[in-house]
Amino acid sequence: MSGRGAKVAARAAAGLGLTAVAAGALIWWGPAGLYLWLKAAHVIAIIAWMAGMLYLPRLFVYHSEVPIGSPQSETFKVMERRLLRAIINPAMIATWVLGLWLAWEGGFFRSGWLHAKLAFVLALSGLHGYFSAAVRAFAEDRNVRSSRHWRVVNEVPAVLMILIVILVVVKPF
- Point out which residues bind ligand HEM (CB under 6 A): 39, 42-43, 46, 50, 95-96, 99-100, 102-103, 106, 108, 121, 124, 161, 164-165, 168-169
CB count within 10 Å of CB 53 equals: 24
Task: Specify the residue, 60 or 157, whose C-beta has the smaller distance to ligand HEM.
Answer: 157
Report the nearest approach of ligand HEM to the CB of residue 116 (Å). 11
Nearer CB in complex with ligand HEM: 144/169 = 169
Compute φ and ψ for 46, nearest 5 degrees. -60, -40
Q: How far is the C-alpha of 173 from the C-alpha of 165, rounded, in Å?
A: 14
The distance of closest approach from Cβ of residue 125 to ligand HEM in the complex, given in angstroms and rounded to an integer, is: 7
Is the Cβ of residue 38 or residue 134 nearer to ligand HEM in the bound state?
38
Residue environment code for 16-49, b if the CB has 16+ CB neighbours within 10 A, otherwise e: eeeeeeeeeeeeeeeeeeeeeebbebbeebbebb
Question: Minimum distance between the CB of residue 54 and ligand HEM, rounded to whole angstroms?
Answer: 11
CB of 138 to ligand HEM, least distance (A): 25
d(CA 166, CA 109): 18
In whole angstroms, how close is the CB of 135 to ligand HEM at the nearest point?
Answer: 20
Nearer to ligand HEM, 79 or 93 (CB): 93
Helix crossing, 34-63 with 112-139: angle to 10°?
Answer: 40
Distance from C-alpha of 129 to C-alpha of 123, rounded to nearest angstrom? 10
**Looking at beta carbons, which residue is closest to ligand HEM?**
99
